[in-house]
Amino acid sequence: MIARGSCLAVLAVAGAASVATGQEKPFRIEVVDRATGRGVPLVELETTGGLRYVTDSAGVVAFDEAGLLGRKVWFTVRGHGYEHRKDGFGFRGVSLETRPSGTAKIIVDRLNVAERLYRVTGQGIYRDTVLTGGKPPLRKPLLNGGVVGQDTVLAVPFGGRVLWFWGDTHRVRYPLGLFETSGAWSKLPGQGGPDPAVGVDLHYFTGRDGFSRAMCPIEGPGVVWIGGVCVATEKDGSPALVCHYSRRKGLTEPLENGLARWNAKRDVFKKWRELPLNETRHVTHHPTSVRIDGVRWLVAGDPFPRLRVRATLADVGSPDRYEAWTPDRGWHPTSSPLPRQREYELRDVDTGRKVRARPGSVRWNPHRRRWIAIFGEVFGKTSMLGETWYAEADTITGPWVWAKKIVTHDGYSFYNVTHHAFMDAEGGRRIFFEGTYTTLFAKTKVRTPRYDYNQIMYALDLDDPRLHLPVAVYRWQAAGAERFGTREAAEAAGAWPKVDVIAFFARPPDRPGAGSIPVRGDGGTVRFHALPRDSKTPGPTVERHEGRVWPNPLQELPLSPAMLPDQ
């Protein structure tokens, strides 16, 4: 949990916060992002005696330690992807004059490209805000549905609201919780729901005891996990919510495999079709909807597309109607189990090292007019499962190559991330994604109080210059000569079907990077941006006559231009 770098300012405000009851409240410490002025969740403050406090979703710590309150206290400041400047001795922290009902502000700088917003699930989301007299933005800021921990989110708009589902769920009263999928609903942003930048106001589906109840009860022993939650169309044109379920004995041994349908009257998934244990042709993870010649299809992968099926209930429920994607063959009918898929040739845009992508989501982004991917990494540098990446491509199947790390968690896991496109703001310029923060598979076994095994929401500004990634520059033949350009140039020339190779990658005409130079074509039009040959920060680029560009490691042309976003 130790961040690196520089820069901090501390503002101590000794004023007394009046309390309506007349009683003194704890000392309020607020940790704030210098760039936004917003409180930062999940920042740890530690005293010289080893007492650890963690900011709540408003960035607040309520300090009322007997024997220390009323004294000057040193706090070491740590936070995944955020940092506090060093003092003259190299310590990252600050001494604060603590007093009952007093306040202090600690300003930190963000290292992550993405901005940490709030915790979505668990107990005490706004605990310290409440203890210091603040007003949280949620109906139930302290305990909701009796839930203290939830693994892996799935979310889909359906029936005029957002339905949320999670895996294993922890309760307050006993170490064993719920293992048959939990759920909740919320109002859509802009339709009664809060701004996604503020929070998600969850209404849990609960049992008589007030604790979150099973959303996919499948008879038999073992845990029940679901995935591939998606909307298919019935014969009469009405929407049907479907998911894949797996009843399992632990992480690896499947006991039952099948599909379930949502019963809107009872707010629960009911078993629909049981499949053979080895059947892999089914919806999975976070499907996205596309149009092919006006017909709606569902595309699913881990995170990149691997399967597609027409979005009718009959097709989704029939394994033999699924098609598989492989870069060498494109889309084709397939048998089960699916053929082993090669690792995608993803590269870190800063270093060129390979990135091993694991679960995430692929969505169309109207602001970038490209498909964007938010995904995790396995065996990352600072955490085995704690890094989150961003990439973009011209078609849903690629080319997925150059990626930027946007979140890091030092020695802690943050997995199964997903981008909630229904939350997108400002025409898609600002997006929101979340993942599971946990010690599972992590170096550390010291759990972060209240945060561990819960969902944390982040925001990402796609106009951040650090996300000006190189895009594919294609080659095609025209009038007996080779032409080069981005997808937009190929489309404008009517040459998109004539593209025969990805020549290299370069920054697009509208998104130059630091130190880049424009490369112009006929009439002086900027075709793309490259780095100068003598660049002092070339990174993983290679030299061409136009300048330094990013190489193409792909052997195939992984394009699916006929698959358009379902807008």
Query: Are 233 and 240 in contact, with CB atoms under 8 Å apart?
Result: yes
What gap in Å lies between CA 554 and CA 327, rounded to an integer?
Answer: 9
Is pLDDT at 126 greater than 50 in this prediction?
A: yes
What are the tokens at 331? 């889309």
Nearest to 41 by CA among 260, 266, 270, 199: 199
Average pLDDT (143-162) is: 98
What gap in Å lies between CA 230 and CA 543, rounded to an integer?
Answer: 45
Average pLDDT (500-525) is: 93
75 domain residue, yes or no: yes
What gap in Å lies between CA 414 and CA 477, rounded to an integer?
Answer: 46
CATH of the domain at 109: 2.60.40.1120
What are the tokens at 509? 């005409």
Nearest to 25 by CA among 130, 128, 98, 131: 131
Q: What percent of the chain stands above pLDDT 90? A: 86
Question: Which amino acid type is present at position 250?
Answer: G
Chain-centroid distance, C-alpha 81: 15
275 domain residue, yes or no: no
Q: Could you report the per-residue pLDDT of 30-80, keeping only the tens digit for each?
A: 999 999 999 999 999 999 999 999 999 999 999 999 999 999 999 999 999
509 domain residue, yes or no: yes
Query: How high is the pLDDT of residue 4?
Result: 39
What gap in Å lies between CA 114 and CA 77, rounded to an integer?
Answer: 20
Is pLDDT at 11 greater than 60 in this prediction?
A: no
Q: Could you report the per-residue pLDDT of 230-242, keeping only the tens digit for each?
A: 999 999 999 999 9
383 domain residue, yes or no: yes
Average pLDDT (449-465) is: 98
Is pLDDT at 415 greater than 90 in this prediction?
A: yes
Query: How high is the pLDDT of residue 23?
Result: 80
313 domain residue, yes or no: no
Query: pLDDT band at residue 443, thresholds of 50, 70 and 90?
Result: confident
What are the tokens at 392? 């973009």
557 domain residue, yes or no: no
Q: What angle do CA 364, 308, 225 make, to 5 degrees?
A: 90
Q: Could you report the per-residue pLDDT of 183-215, keeping only the tens digit for each?
A: 999 999 999 999 999 999 999 999 999 999 999
Is pLDDT at 387 greater than 50 in this prediction?
A: yes
Q: How many domains, in total, are found in the chain?
A: 3
Is pLDDT at 179 greater than 60 in this prediction?
A: yes
Nearest to 120 by CA among 155, 96, 94: 155
Query: pLDDT band at residue 19, thresholds of 50, 70 and 90?
Result: very low
What gap in Å lies between CA 100 and CA 561, rounded to an integer?
Answer: 63
Is pLDDT at 3 greater than 90 in this prediction?
A: no
Query: How high is the pLDDT of residue 13?
Result: 38
- Residue 497: give the domain boundaries: 471-549
Q: Is 428 left (phi over 0), alpha (psi -120 to 50) or beta?
A: left
Pick from 131, 166, 194: which residue ends a domain? 131
Question: Which amino acid type is present at position 416?
Answer: N
Q: Is 349 left (phi over 0), alpha (psi -120 to 50) or beta?
A: alpha
What gap in Å lies between CA 126 and CA 61, rounded to an integer?
Answer: 10
248 domain residue, yes or no: no
Query: How high is the pLDDT of residue 7?
Result: 43
* Pair 124, 21 in one domain: yes
* Pair 382, 488 in one domain: no
Average pLDDT (268-294) is: 97
Query: How high is the pLDDT of residue 445?
Result: 83
Pick from 410, 442, 465: which residue ends a domain? 465
489 domain residue, yes or no: yes
Q: Could you report the per-residue pLDDT of 312-345, keeping only the tens digit for each?
A: 999 999 999 999 998 888 999 988 767 666 678 8
Query: Are 196 and 432 in contact, with CB atoms under 8 Å apart?
Result: yes
